[in-house]
Structure 1
Amino acid sequence: MGKRATGVLEAPSATTAVSLDGVTKVYGRGNEAVHALRGVSVDIRPGSFTAVMGPSGSGKSTFLHCAAGLDRPTGGRVALAGTDIAGLSETKLTELRRTRVGFVFQAFNLVPSLTAEQNVTLPLRLAGQRPDKRWVHEVMSRVGLGDRAKHRPGQLSGGQQQRVAIARALVTRPDVLFADEPTGALDTRTGREVLALLREVVDQYGHTVVMVTHDPVAASYADRVLFLADGTLVDTLEQPTADAVADRMIHMEG
């Protein structure tokens, strides 16, 4: 979806933004055990946009949760910006998620009583940090909400609320922004606007985005698509088109 811009404002801090090496995840034990991930290995480079796809139950959400430090793998290694997160204490892991990882979900998860700006700065306040007003204004302008700072979520459209969620994810200057079906609650036109914004934060500002989606059109905004099936990484597609992604999915589900 357009050539990569040369003006990267924030230099990446490692040669890989996210690295999974032989990652397994098993829920339950014995006959009840469910193997959600089976030896997944992949490197995601800084300043790239990666989509993760697969049939229902393929392990997409588990992949995202393990990669983002929301869930600990049963085996293997996960590194975020060069930091091996396997050995981190819960306190250190929480700190890493708060400062180096951004999250955007299908549900906007905004606090209704707070203004857009207050929702954006909430992660900083929870971390005991004083928000840099200039940076907050820049981030909100970046996502097209510079004139909506004082509006509460109920005064914003669904697309604007998701933009607030994206700004909130970016305000801590994360190494990686993880998005789980970020357009799932939006209509088609608004969803495209949000996808174009994610593409822009990669191209214009050098952020790294990893997005789980079921939509081939959404995946076409990425640089690369990872295909999961039965917890295994079975295919990748570089510079995807919606048709090519849909074709791969049809063959996987056939």
Structure 2
Amino acid sequence: MAPVAVRIRDLRRHHRDVRALDGVDLDLPAGTYTAVMGPSGSGKSTLLQCAAGLDRPTAGSVEIDGVPLAGLSPRRLTLLRRDRIGFVFQSFNLLPSLTAAQNVALPLRLAGRRPSRTQVRDALARVGLAGRERHRPGELSGGQQQRVALARALITRPAVLFADEPTGALDSTTGREVLTMLRALVDGDGQTIVMVTHDPVAAACADRVVFLVDGRVQGELTGPTADAVAARMAGLETAVPLAPATRAAVARKAGAPC
């Protein structure tokens, strides 16, 4: 059995009268690709933020690579996020005045470490951007910018890469290229990936899809296909109305790219 990269137990996050998470238990093995889906307001992004140490849960526990997040001081939590956790957002969050190479090197420089040119070049080559080191974000397509963001997240060799709607700002063709790349990181490098998405096509690239409703796990699929994910999401709509973007993806349910 693969070691557990992320262990979540009885995770709860309450905002006044709203229970964004209401007792989530999950084990995410190392070297696997997990997608998290659910209706709008189901707690997907809250789960990702709590699991990645970006938000403090009300109760429950999270362990990353065997390290419990509860009780860590703000400084130690920052160090853990910097060294063991990668995060990719829907918006690329690149600094427009910096080149691709400088954006990728930024996490290490902020940590007081000076990455070598070879290290940065290798990180960009790993995501298919060899030769683009000197390009600034404005000179790159949306898909290329997301690849730079991926390289920046991966340069520290994190135990877990968290991705929050990584293809949400991309067209379908470019989005599929990014999804194929994420799949290759798992298969070729053994990277652990946890991705929130509303798109059954994106979820079909994962090894496993976990469904949330009202902050609780409401089942999962292993070896998912786009059609199977779309059918499960359509079933969830009977209990909770789906967001427009999710409804469109369910209706589209194109063949999986991975």
**TM-score normalised by structure 1 residue count:** 0.92
Per-residue deviation at 1:137? 1.7
**1:106 paired residue number:** 90
Deviation by residue 1:190-239 (Cα, 9 ceiling, x = unmatched)? 00000001101111111111000000000000000000000000111001
* 1:213 aligned partner, one-letter code: T
- The SS at the match of 2:189 is coil
Distance in 1 (alpha carbons) for counterparts of 2:217 and 2:42: 9
1:61 to 45, 58, 61: 45
Does structure 1 residue 193 correspond to structure 2 residue 181?
Answer: no
Distance in 2 (alpha carbons) for counterparts of 1:16 and 1:133: 33
Deviation by residue 1:155-204 (Cα, 9 ceiling, x = unmatched)? 00000000000000000110000000000000000000000011011111
Does structure 1 residue 146 correspond to structure 2 residue 130?
Answer: yes
Q: Which deviates more, 55-64 or 129-138?
A: 129-138
**2:120 paired residue number:** 136
Does structure 1 residue 26 correspond to structure 2 residue 14?
Answer: yes
Distance in 1 (alpha carbons) for counterparts of 2:214 and 2:65: 27
Identity across matched positions, percent: 64
Distance in 2 (alpha carbons) for counterparts of 1:77 and 1:219: 26
* 2:191 aligned partner, one-letter code: H
Distance in 1 (alpha carbons) for counterparts of 2:137 and 2:54: 26
Runs of 4+ in 1 over 6 A off after TM superposition: none
* 2:161 aligned partner, one-letter code: L
1:83 to 52, 60, 67: 67
1:92 to 76, 80, 103: 76
* 1:108 aligned partner, one-letter code: F
**1:207 paired residue number:** 191
Per-residue deviation at 1:135? 2.4
Distance in 1 (alpha carbons) for counterparts of 2:3 and 2:188: 19
- The SS at the match of 1:98 is helix
**1:17 paired residue number:** 5
Distance in 2 (alpha carbons) for counterparts of 1:249 and 1:170: 31
**1:235 paired residue number:** 219
Distance in 2 (alpha carbons) for counterparts of 1:132 and 1:253: 50
* 1:166 aligned partner, one-letter code: L
Does structure 1 residue 171 correspond to structure 2 residue 159?
Answer: no
Distance in 2 (alpha carbons) for counterparts of 1:136 and 1:208: 21
Unaligned 5+ segments in structure 1 are 1-13
**TM-score normalised by structure 2 residue count:** 0.91
Let me know the Cα RMSD of the aligned residues.
0.8
